[in-house]
Amino acid sequence: MPHDSDNSSLPPTAASVLEVKDLHTQFDTRAGVLPVVNGVGFRLEKGKVLGLVGESGSGKSVTGFSIMGLLDAPGRIVSGQVLFNGQDLAQLDARALRNIRGNRIAMIFQDPMATLNPVLRIDVQMLETIHAHRKMGKAEALEHCRQTLARMGIPSPHERLKAYPHQLSGGMRQRVAIAIALLNGPELIIADEPTTALDVTIQAQILSEMQQLVRETGTALIWISHDLSVVAGLADDIAVMYAGRIVEHGSVDAVLDTPQHPYTQGLIGSLP
């Protein structure tokens, strides 16, 4: 093979796990076109946590769905790019996308039942998730499930595996949903307010488990929250969304200490 001396065949952004470029997403409603994401762009490196903050309706979830390719009609990406390890996700065929989604990129939702199937035992769901993406003997796969549950701070993982979702508490269900997202060792996790509905103690425990996970595995993490104080303890960088735009983006310290945008200044002013 000819040697490519100037590396020009390498994507220029290969170092970033994720690069979102000038993303525009809109909804076609009866009342007309509703622009929801209006030029969002950011990069995320391996092992880094980006806190995506903003008030309800500012377009955080739609940004997450757009990255994940989970946007359904009437929503659509109008322009912009989502590069995963330098690869434009829009250019991939369905098979390649399936291999990335739920495997190399995982999403966690506010409601754990968006991930969990109410009529299947946890072990069945976890094994399905593993076997959808790779071959692994049952004993080894079950051991991997137990370890992943334990990593999310779940006591007696062996017993939990035999449970149905309704037999677990809300916090436990969310931990299981997160464990399912972790099973195939994703390079990127998009977490859309997964602790918002949980009480503060459990929220703090899950945040610290996620922090440890990022440190140990180098997974990149986008943590979406309407609550700046929740994100501040976990994230390296914070992006503040307002009306479909990122109005502020920087390190946690920079955003908290010297916020540039009036909306961020208001947010910080209202922190306890």
Q: Please give the residue ranges that form the binding site for ligand ADP (CB under 6 A).
A: 27, 29, 34, 36, 54, 56-62, 74-75
Minimum gap (Å) between residue 56 Cβ and Mg ion: 7
Pick the closer one to ligand ADP by CB: 58 or 103.
Answer: 58
Whole-number Å distance between alpha carbons of 104 and 97: 10
Give φ, ψ of 181 to 5 degrees.
-65, -30
Q: Which does 112 bind (CB under 5 to 8 A by kind): Mg ion, ligand ADP, none?
A: none
192 near 108, Cβ under 8 Å? Answer: yes
Q: Which residues 61-120 are close enough to bind Mg ion by CB under 5 A? A: 61
Minimum gap (Å) between residue 246 Cβ and ligand ADP: 12
Given the structure tokens 């997202």, which residue do they identify?
A: 181
Q: Which does 206 bind (CB under 5 to 8 A by kind): ligand ADP, Mg ion, none?
A: none
Pick the closer one to ligand ADP by CB: 12 or 57.
Answer: 57
Minimum gap (Å) between residue 99 Cβ and Mg ion: 27
Q: Which positions from 37 to 66 touch Mg ion by CB under 5 A, shown as an x/- string?
A: ------------------------x-----
Q: Which does 34 bind (CB under 5 to 8 A by kind): ligand ADP, Mg ion, none?
A: ligand ADP
Whole-number Å distance between alpha carbons of 209 and 229: 17
Residue nearest to Mg ion (CB): 61
Query: Which residues contact Mg ion (rule: CB under 5 A)?
Result: 61
